[in-house]
Structures are given as structure tokens and as C-alpha cells.
Amino acid sequence: MSERPSARFRPCLENLEAKQLPSTVASLGAAARRVAAETKVQPEAVQPKPTHGYLVFRITNPSRYNNTVLPPFQQVLVQRDQPVRGQTYNILSVVVRNGTARTFTASDNLRVRLSQQNYSTPILTDDQQWRPGQWIVFYVLTKKYYPLPSQVKSGFNFNLGGARSLAIPGPSGIFQRITYNPATFPRTLDAITSFGVGAQGGAGYKYGLPVTNVAEFVSAKTNRNDFGGYF
């Protein structure tokens, strides 16, 4: 006959974990939050606006000084590859106005390049000048529809006296299927820039926003908040 369990028998009990006091739990939670905040990825620092040279901005609020874009223009091809007569190209361009009171010459070493280019092109050569109020057309000839990586953050990078900024052509800057003839191309580009579809027949310049490839540059010291991606 089996014996009944002794009243003196005590089974081994596993000790429970010590409970933390509410104040301890709260302090650990605060510490965890502090560590999370310190390790959180911080946004990129905004580059300070240069105070030297000149910066470009898109004309979205035209004045009576910059709402008329009439040829003939000085034209700058921003690429090393030269176009071939008889070949069909798309044109990507921006037109930029000298909004300063200064006349620039080749000695000022103003330069421009596309975002993806690892070289820059001089804007003025020999005895060329960029006078106050004068417009210059910057362009590339391409087989692609839109030869830039992005329509919102790529474009023509300008180095104007040491301060750099970006002019984004946008949809107004593209014109398709031009058969290249060196004898007639300058007049064709003038007409496209002034009265083409992107310029809404020339009327778009008076309203600003509908035209995305028209820009102006002024001193970097000017109090503006719409300079194009200075870097």
C-alpha cells in the first residue's frame, strides 16, 4: 500500500524574476527613446547660400524687363560631340538672361555643363560679351527624348564667378526631330526658343509658370529664395 505524501514535503519552486519598480521602467523607456533619437538618421544639412558670384533662378514671376524674349540670340552648344549634317536630333535648351548691370567677357571664365558631364564648356570665348539684359541660349543635340537623368533635379549647371547653380529645362526645353543643317540651324533654334511650342508661341514668357526653360541670373547677394539648387 503506497504511503500518502508527507505534509512536510515541499516541492522545489523556481524563483520568479524580480519585478521592476514603475520608476525603473519609466527611466529605461526614456533611455531607449533617447538612444533611438540619437541613432535616427538626420536629414541632410542645407548648404549655405554663396555670397559671391552669380546665381540662376527660373523666371516664374516675369517683369516688364524679362518677359520678352526676342532673337537673334547668342547660342552655346554644351557638349563636345559635334552634330552631323543631315542627322535628326532632339534639342534640349534653356535660355538665360543677364539680370545684372555688368557686361561679362571671356576673362570672367563663366562656364556651364550638363549634370552628368564631367567637363564644362566656356560660355564666352574670344571677344564675345554677355551684356546686361541679353539672353543666351544653351543647348544640346541628342538622340534621346530627354537626355537628363531627372526632369526635376538635373539640368544645366552654371558656374558664374565661383557660385554654382542649376537651370532645369523641364518639358518646355525639349523640341523633337530637327534635321541638322549648320547653315540654317541658328535661325531654327532662335525661332524655337522665341515662338515654339515650349514658349507657347511666345506668349508664355509673359506669364512665367507655363514656360519651364527660361531663367535669369543676378548677384548671389540678392535676397531671393528661388535660386536654382546652388551648391
Q: Report the distance separating Cα 82 and Cα 141, nearest Å.
A: 9
pLDDT at 52: 84
Residue with cell 549634317: 85
pLDDT at 2: 53
| Contact assessment for residue 169 and residue 212, using Cβ atoms and an 8 Å cutoff | yes
pLDDT at 10: 56
State the SS3 of 131-166: CCCCEEEEEEEECCCCCCCCCCCCCEEEEECCEEEE
The CA distances from residue 152 to 141, 143, 167, in Å, are 20, 20, 10
pLDDT at 39: 47
Each of the 231 residues of the chain gets a pLDDT tens digit; together they read 555 555 555 555 555 555 555 544 454 456 556 645 554 544 555 567 777 899 999 999 999 999 999 999 999 999 999 999 999 999 999 999 999 999 999 999 999 999 999 999 999 999 999 999 999 999 999 999 888 888 778 999 999 998 899 999 999 999 999 999 999 999 999 999 999 988 888 888 988 889 999 999 999 999 888 888 776
Within 13 Å, how many C-alpha atoms sit on residue 34's CB side?
6
Q: Report the distance separating Cα 94 and Cα 217, nearest Å.
A: 13
| Contact assessment for residue 211 and residue 172, using Cβ atoms and an 8 Å cutoff | yes
For the chain, first and last CA: distance in Å?
95
| Contact assessment for residue 181 and residue 85, using Cβ atoms and an 8 Å cutoff | yes
What are the residue boundaries of the structural domains of the chain, listed by start? 54-219
Q: Report the distance separating Cα 218 and Cα 55, nearest Å.
A: 6
